[in-house]
Homo-oligomer: A and B are copies of this chain.
Amino acid sequence: MTLEAIRYSRGRLEVLDQLLLPHQTVYIPVPDADAGWAVINKMQVRGAPAIAIVGCLSLAVELTTGRQFETSAALLAHVRQRLAHLITSRPTAVNLKKAAVTLIELAESAESGGGGVEKLRDSVVSACEAMLAADVADNRAIGEHGAAALLSSAAAGSPVSVLTHCNTGSLATAGHGTALGVIRSLHAAGRLGRAYCTETRPYMQGARLTSYELVHDAIPATLVCDSAVSALLRTGRVQAVVVGADRVAANGDTANKIGTYQLAIAAAHHSVPFYIAAPATSIDLGLPSGDQIPIEERPADEMLQLAGQRVAAQGIEVWNPAFDVTPASLITGGIITEKGVLPAGEVSRIATL
Protein backbone atom coordinates (compact mmCIF):
# COMPACT_ATOMS: atom_id res chain seq x y z
CA MET A 1 0.00 0.00 0.00
CA THR A 2 1.38 3.36 -0.99
CA LEU A 3 1.03 6.02 1.65
CA GLU A 4 -1.38 8.77 0.54
CA ALA A 5 -0.60 12.11 2.10
CA ILE A 6 -3.15 13.95 -0.09
CA ARG A 7 -6.57 12.39 -0.75
CA TYR A 8 -8.50 14.21 -3.43
CA SER A 9 -11.60 13.67 -5.51
CA ARG A 10 -13.57 16.49 -7.08
CA GLY A 11 -15.25 18.46 -4.28
CA ARG A 12 -13.32 16.71 -1.49
CA LEU A 13 -9.81 17.09 -0.08
CA GLU A 14 -8.19 15.54 3.00
CA VAL A 15 -4.56 15.79 4.06
CA LEU A 16 -2.64 13.56 6.44
CA ASP A 17 -1.72 15.54 9.59
CA GLN A 18 2.07 15.21 9.52
CA LEU A 19 2.45 16.76 12.96
CA LEU A 20 0.93 13.60 14.44
CA LEU A 21 3.14 11.11 12.56
CA PRO A 22 4.50 8.56 13.22
CA HIS A 23 2.18 8.01 16.20
CA GLN A 24 -1.26 8.71 14.75
CA THR A 25 -2.69 8.60 11.26
CA VAL A 26 -5.30 11.38 11.12
CA TYR A 27 -6.67 12.99 7.95
CA ILE A 28 -7.88 16.60 8.15
CA PRO A 29 -10.77 17.70 5.89
CA VAL A 30 -9.87 20.78 3.82
CA PRO A 31 -13.21 22.18 2.60
CA ASP A 32 -11.98 25.61 1.44
CA ALA A 33 -9.02 27.92 0.93
CA ASP A 34 -9.09 29.13 4.54
CA ALA A 35 -8.64 25.54 5.68
CA GLY A 36 -5.90 25.14 3.05
CA TRP A 37 -4.12 28.23 4.41
CA ALA A 38 -4.37 26.82 7.95
CA VAL A 39 -2.97 23.31 7.25
CA ILE A 40 -0.03 24.87 5.39
CA ASN A 41 0.64 27.54 8.01
CA LYS A 42 0.52 25.01 10.89
CA MET A 43 2.83 22.68 8.95
CA GLN A 44 0.27 19.87 9.02
CA VAL A 45 1.19 19.62 5.38
CA ARG A 46 4.71 20.59 4.40
CA GLY A 47 7.23 20.32 1.57
CA ALA A 48 7.22 22.91 -1.19
CA PRO A 49 5.48 20.81 -3.87
CA ALA A 50 2.82 19.49 -1.49
CA ILE A 51 2.14 23.01 -0.22
CA ALA A 52 1.48 24.22 -3.77
CA ILE A 53 -0.81 21.31 -4.57
CA VAL A 54 -2.77 21.43 -1.32
CA GLY A 55 -3.16 25.21 -1.60
CA CYS A 56 -4.53 24.97 -5.15
CA LEU A 57 -6.72 21.94 -4.44
CA SER A 58 -8.23 23.68 -1.41
CA LEU A 59 -9.31 26.45 -3.76
CA ALA A 60 -10.63 23.85 -6.25
CA VAL A 61 -12.82 22.31 -3.52
CA GLU A 62 -14.08 25.75 -2.49
CA LEU A 63 -14.95 26.58 -6.09
CA THR A 64 -16.73 23.23 -6.53
CA THR A 65 -18.77 23.25 -3.33
CA GLY A 66 -18.80 26.86 -2.14
CA ARG A 67 -20.89 29.87 -2.92
CA GLN A 68 -22.00 30.58 -6.48
CA PHE A 69 -21.05 33.69 -8.46
CA GLU A 70 -23.33 35.67 -10.77
CA THR A 71 -20.66 36.70 -13.24
CA SER A 72 -17.35 35.34 -14.41
CA ALA A 73 -15.78 38.69 -13.46
CA ALA A 74 -16.92 38.18 -9.87
CA LEU A 75 -15.58 34.61 -9.86
CA LEU A 76 -12.26 35.79 -11.31
CA ALA A 77 -11.97 38.44 -8.60
CA HIS A 78 -12.67 35.77 -5.99
CA VAL A 79 -10.02 33.44 -7.41
CA ARG A 80 -7.49 36.27 -7.36
CA GLN A 81 -8.35 37.21 -3.78
CA ARG A 82 -8.19 33.64 -2.46
CA LEU A 83 -4.84 32.91 -4.13
CA ALA A 84 -3.43 36.18 -2.78
CA HIS A 85 -4.40 34.98 0.68
CA LEU A 86 -3.09 31.42 0.21
CA ILE A 87 0.41 32.55 -0.73
CA THR A 88 0.76 34.28 2.65
CA SER A 89 0.59 30.91 4.46
CA ARG A 90 4.37 30.28 4.33
CA PRO A 91 6.79 32.97 3.19
CA THR A 92 9.60 30.87 1.69
CA ALA A 93 7.98 28.39 -0.71
CA VAL A 94 7.97 29.75 -4.23
CA ASN A 95 6.06 26.81 -5.75
CA LEU A 96 2.71 27.99 -4.44
CA LYS A 97 3.36 31.54 -5.70
CA LYS A 98 4.20 30.22 -9.15
CA ALA A 99 1.12 28.00 -9.18
CA ALA A 100 -0.99 31.00 -8.18
CA VAL A 101 0.41 33.10 -11.03
CA THR A 102 -0.28 30.28 -13.50
CA LEU A 103 -3.84 29.82 -12.24
CA ILE A 104 -4.61 33.53 -12.40
CA GLU A 105 -3.31 33.79 -15.97
CA LEU A 106 -5.39 30.77 -16.95
CA ALA A 107 -8.47 32.20 -15.21
CA GLU A 108 -8.01 35.61 -16.88
CA SER A 109 -7.72 33.94 -20.25
CA ALA A 110 -10.82 31.80 -19.63
CA GLU A 111 -12.78 34.82 -18.40
CA SER A 112 -11.87 36.98 -21.37
CA GLY A 113 -12.75 34.02 -23.62
CA GLY A 114 -16.34 34.66 -22.55
CA GLY A 115 -17.35 31.07 -21.74
CA GLY A 116 -19.30 32.12 -18.66
CA VAL A 117 -19.06 31.26 -14.98
CA GLU A 118 -19.27 27.49 -15.25
CA LYS A 119 -16.58 27.21 -17.88
CA LEU A 120 -14.26 29.49 -15.88
CA ARG A 121 -14.84 27.45 -12.74
CA ASP A 122 -14.16 24.20 -14.55
CA SER A 123 -10.97 25.57 -16.12
CA VAL A 124 -9.52 26.53 -12.75
CA VAL A 125 -10.57 23.29 -11.02
CA SER A 126 -9.19 21.14 -13.85
CA ALA A 127 -5.90 23.05 -13.80
CA CYS A 128 -5.52 22.37 -10.07
CA GLU A 129 -6.20 18.68 -10.63
CA ALA A 130 -3.64 18.55 -13.43
CA MET A 131 -0.98 19.87 -11.05
CA LEU A 132 -1.51 16.85 -8.81
CA ALA A 133 -0.98 14.41 -11.68
CA ALA A 134 1.97 16.36 -13.08
CA ASP A 135 3.79 16.38 -9.73
CA VAL A 136 3.91 12.59 -9.52
CA ALA A 137 5.18 12.38 -13.11
CA ASP A 138 7.81 15.07 -12.44
CA ASN A 139 9.02 13.29 -9.32
CA ARG A 140 9.50 10.03 -11.18
CA ALA A 141 11.56 11.92 -13.75
CA ILE A 142 13.63 13.56 -10.97
CA GLY A 143 14.23 10.11 -9.50
CA GLU A 144 15.41 8.69 -12.81
CA HIS A 145 17.69 11.64 -13.66
CA GLY A 146 19.13 11.67 -10.15
CA ALA A 147 19.77 7.93 -10.02
CA ALA A 148 21.54 8.11 -13.39
CA ALA A 149 23.71 11.02 -12.21
CA LEU A 150 24.73 9.27 -8.98
CA LEU A 151 25.48 6.01 -10.78
CA SER A 152 27.51 7.70 -13.50
CA SER A 153 30.36 8.23 -11.04
CA ALA A 154 30.00 4.85 -9.27
CA ALA A 155 31.95 1.76 -10.24
CA ALA A 156 29.91 -0.48 -12.57
CA GLY A 157 27.42 -2.50 -10.57
CA SER A 158 28.54 -1.23 -7.18
CA PRO A 159 25.88 0.06 -4.81
CA VAL A 160 25.60 3.72 -3.84
CA SER A 161 24.67 4.84 -0.33
CA VAL A 162 22.95 8.19 -0.03
CA LEU A 163 22.38 10.62 2.84
CA THR A 164 19.32 12.85 2.84
CA HIS A 165 17.87 15.53 5.13
CA CYS A 166 14.35 16.47 6.17
CA ASN A 167 11.47 14.84 4.26
CA THR A 168 11.11 15.09 0.51
CA GLY A 169 9.11 11.95 -0.08
CA SER A 170 5.50 10.95 -0.61
CA LEU A 171 4.68 12.98 2.47
CA ALA A 172 6.10 16.19 0.96
CA THR A 173 4.87 15.81 -2.62
CA ALA A 174 2.01 14.19 -4.49
CA GLY A 175 4.01 10.93 -4.53
CA HIS A 176 7.48 9.30 -5.03
CA GLY A 177 9.29 12.40 -3.78
CA THR A 178 12.22 14.52 -4.93
CA ALA A 179 15.45 13.73 -3.03
CA LEU A 180 13.73 10.68 -1.57
CA GLY A 181 12.51 9.95 -5.10
CA VAL A 182 16.17 9.63 -6.17
CA ILE A 183 16.69 7.13 -3.33
CA ARG A 184 13.51 5.25 -4.33
CA SER A 185 14.63 5.08 -7.97
CA LEU A 186 18.11 3.82 -6.98
CA HIS A 187 16.49 1.17 -4.78
CA ALA A 188 14.11 0.15 -7.58
CA ALA A 189 17.13 -0.23 -9.86
CA GLY A 190 18.82 -2.50 -7.31
CA ARG A 191 21.70 -0.05 -6.92
CA LEU A 192 21.04 1.51 -3.50
CA GLY A 193 23.46 0.43 -0.78
CA ARG A 194 21.72 2.13 2.10
CA ALA A 195 19.79 5.31 2.76
CA TYR A 196 20.92 7.47 5.66
CA CYS A 197 18.54 10.11 6.93
CA THR A 198 19.09 12.87 9.46
CA GLU A 199 16.68 13.49 12.32
CA THR A 200 16.19 17.11 11.14
CA ARG A 201 15.64 19.10 14.29
CA PRO A 202 13.55 20.83 15.41
CA TYR A 203 10.58 19.27 13.61
CA MET A 204 12.17 15.83 13.30
CA GLN A 205 10.88 15.38 9.76
CA GLY A 206 13.67 12.87 9.12
CA ALA A 207 13.08 10.85 12.28
CA ARG A 208 9.29 10.96 12.01
CA LEU A 209 8.51 11.10 8.30
CA THR A 210 11.46 9.98 6.16
CA SER A 211 12.15 7.05 8.49
CA TYR A 212 8.46 6.17 8.27
CA GLU A 213 8.55 6.15 4.48
CA LEU A 214 11.82 4.19 4.29
CA VAL A 215 10.56 1.52 6.69
CA HIS A 216 7.23 1.47 4.78
CA ASP A 217 9.04 0.81 1.50
CA ALA A 218 11.48 -1.70 3.08
CA ILE A 219 14.48 0.34 1.92
CA PRO A 220 17.64 -0.43 3.99
CA ALA A 221 17.98 2.72 6.05
CA THR A 222 19.75 4.22 9.05
CA LEU A 223 18.75 7.28 11.05
CA VAL A 224 21.53 9.56 12.35
CA CYS A 225 21.56 12.69 14.47
CA ASP A 226 22.04 15.91 12.50
CA SER A 227 25.34 16.40 14.29
CA ALA A 228 26.64 12.91 13.44
CA VAL A 229 26.74 13.48 9.69
CA SER A 230 30.39 14.52 9.56
CA ALA A 231 31.45 11.50 11.61
CA LEU A 232 29.42 9.33 9.22
CA LEU A 233 30.91 10.90 6.09
CA ARG A 234 34.38 10.35 7.53
CA THR A 235 33.76 6.59 7.62
CA GLY A 236 33.41 6.57 3.83
CA ARG A 237 30.04 4.83 3.98
CA VAL A 238 28.18 7.55 2.03
CA GLN A 239 28.77 8.21 -1.68
CA ALA A 240 26.39 11.17 -2.16
CA VAL A 241 24.24 13.66 -0.27
CA VAL A 242 20.89 14.51 -1.92
CA VAL A 243 18.43 16.99 -0.40
CA GLY A 244 15.40 18.95 -1.57
CA ALA A 245 14.90 22.67 -2.06
CA ASP A 246 12.32 25.25 -1.15
CA ARG A 247 13.74 27.82 -3.54
CA VAL A 248 16.67 27.98 -5.95
CA ALA A 249 17.93 31.42 -7.02
CA ALA A 250 19.16 32.23 -10.53
CA ASN A 251 22.79 31.79 -9.47
CA GLY A 252 22.10 28.34 -7.96
CA ASP A 253 22.05 29.41 -4.31
CA THR A 254 19.42 27.22 -2.64
CA ALA A 255 17.13 27.72 0.34
CA ASN A 256 16.20 24.50 2.08
CA LYS A 257 15.49 23.17 5.58
CA ILE A 258 17.77 24.48 8.32
CA GLY A 259 20.88 22.31 8.44
CA THR A 260 21.24 21.90 4.69
CA TYR A 261 24.05 24.48 4.55
CA GLN A 262 25.93 22.62 7.30
CA LEU A 263 25.52 19.31 5.45
CA ALA A 264 26.90 20.91 2.29
CA ILE A 265 29.96 22.17 4.18
CA ALA A 266 30.47 18.70 5.68
CA ALA A 267 30.08 17.03 2.28
CA ALA A 268 32.59 19.39 0.67
CA HIS A 269 35.06 18.74 3.51
CA HIS A 270 34.86 15.00 2.80
CA SER A 271 34.74 15.36 -1.01
CA VAL A 272 31.30 13.73 -1.14
CA PRO A 273 29.13 15.15 -3.97
CA PHE A 274 26.18 17.24 -2.81
CA TYR A 275 23.00 17.40 -4.91
CA ILE A 276 19.75 19.35 -4.79
CA ALA A 277 16.69 17.50 -6.15
CA ALA A 278 13.70 19.73 -6.88
CA PRO A 279 11.08 20.39 -9.53
CA ALA A 280 11.93 23.14 -12.01
CA THR A 281 9.18 25.25 -10.41
CA SER A 282 11.47 25.64 -7.38
CA ILE A 283 13.89 27.63 -9.52
CA ASP A 284 13.13 31.33 -9.23
CA LEU A 285 15.04 33.12 -11.99
CA GLY A 286 13.66 36.41 -10.69
CA LEU A 287 15.95 36.16 -7.68
CA PRO A 288 19.56 36.98 -8.57
CA SER A 289 21.05 35.17 -5.54
CA GLY A 290 20.31 33.51 -2.23
CA ASP A 291 20.80 36.82 -0.44
CA GLN A 292 17.33 37.83 -1.65
CA ILE A 293 15.57 34.74 -0.23
CA PRO A 294 13.58 35.66 2.89
CA ILE A 295 14.24 33.25 5.77
CA GLU A 296 11.27 32.46 7.96
CA GLU A 297 11.91 32.35 11.71
CA ARG A 298 9.58 29.95 13.49
CA PRO A 299 8.19 30.23 17.03
CA ALA A 300 10.46 29.31 19.94
CA ASP A 301 8.08 26.61 21.17
CA GLU A 302 8.84 24.50 18.11
CA MET A 303 12.34 24.04 19.53
CA LEU A 304 11.43 24.06 23.21
CA GLN A 305 8.74 21.40 23.00
CA LEU A 306 8.67 17.99 21.38
CA ALA A 307 5.52 15.89 21.27
CA GLY A 308 4.03 18.28 23.80
CA GLN A 309 6.89 17.83 26.27
CA ARG A 310 9.29 20.59 27.16
CA VAL A 311 12.83 19.60 26.13
CA ALA A 312 14.81 22.68 27.16
CA ALA A 313 15.34 24.69 30.31
CA GLN A 314 12.75 27.33 31.22
CA GLY A 315 13.72 30.87 30.29
CA ILE A 316 16.29 30.17 27.57
CA GLU A 317 16.11 32.29 24.41
CA VAL A 318 16.20 30.49 21.07
CA TRP A 319 17.08 31.20 17.43
CA ASN A 320 14.86 29.06 15.21
CA PRO A 321 15.28 29.78 11.49
CA ALA A 322 13.25 27.34 9.37
CA PHE A 323 15.65 27.47 6.41
CA ASP A 324 19.17 28.33 5.46
CA VAL A 325 20.79 29.18 2.15
CA THR A 326 23.45 26.94 0.62
CA PRO A 327 25.67 28.78 -1.85
CA ALA A 328 25.90 27.28 -5.33
CA SER A 329 29.62 26.65 -4.85
CA LEU A 330 28.84 23.98 -2.23
CA ILE A 331 26.28 22.20 -4.47
CA THR A 332 29.09 20.19 -6.00
CA GLY A 333 26.98 17.44 -7.60
CA GLY A 334 24.40 19.65 -9.26
CA ILE A 335 20.69 20.41 -9.27
CA ILE A 336 18.45 17.51 -10.30
CA THR A 337 15.15 18.49 -11.93
CA GLU A 338 12.53 16.62 -13.92
CA LYS A 339 14.13 18.07 -17.03
CA GLY A 340 17.65 16.89 -16.23
CA VAL A 341 20.64 17.66 -14.00
CA LEU A 342 22.34 21.06 -14.18
CA PRO A 343 25.50 22.35 -12.51
CA ALA A 344 24.29 24.67 -9.74
CA GLY A 345 25.88 27.68 -11.40
CA GLU A 346 23.92 27.02 -14.61
CA VAL A 347 20.32 26.74 -13.37
CA SER A 348 19.39 29.72 -15.53
CA ARG A 349 19.65 27.26 -18.45
CA ILE A 350 16.60 25.39 -17.11
CA ALA A 351 14.33 26.87 -19.80
CA THR A 352 16.53 25.37 -22.51
CA LEU A 353 16.23 21.78 -21.26
Contacts and interface: CB of A to CB of B under 8 A. Distances in A.
A215 B314 contact: yes
Interface stretch (A32-40, A97-105, A129-137, A259-267): A259-267
Contacts of A324: 228, 230-231, 234
A258 B22 CA distance: 26
A174 interface: no
B318 A224 contact: yes
Contacts of A229: 262
A307 to B, nearest CB: 5
Interface in A181-239: 196, 198-202, 204, 207-209, 211-212, 214-215, 221-232, 234
A207 B309 contact: no
A321 interface: yes
A303 B214 contact: no
Contact of A317 (B221, B258, B313, B319): B221
A207 B318 CA distance: 10
A7 interface: no
Contact of A306 (B198, B200, B307): B307
Which of A208, A226, A320 has most B Cβ within 10 Å?
A226
B231 A261 contact: yes
A42 interface: no
A311 B229 CA distance: 19
A314 B226 CA distance: 19
Given A207-B311, A234-B261, 15 more contacts: A21-B313, A196-B319, A199-B201, A199-B312, A207-B312, A207-B316, A209-B313, A211-B316, A212-B316, A222-B316, A227-B262, A231-B262, A262-B266, A265-B265, A265-B269
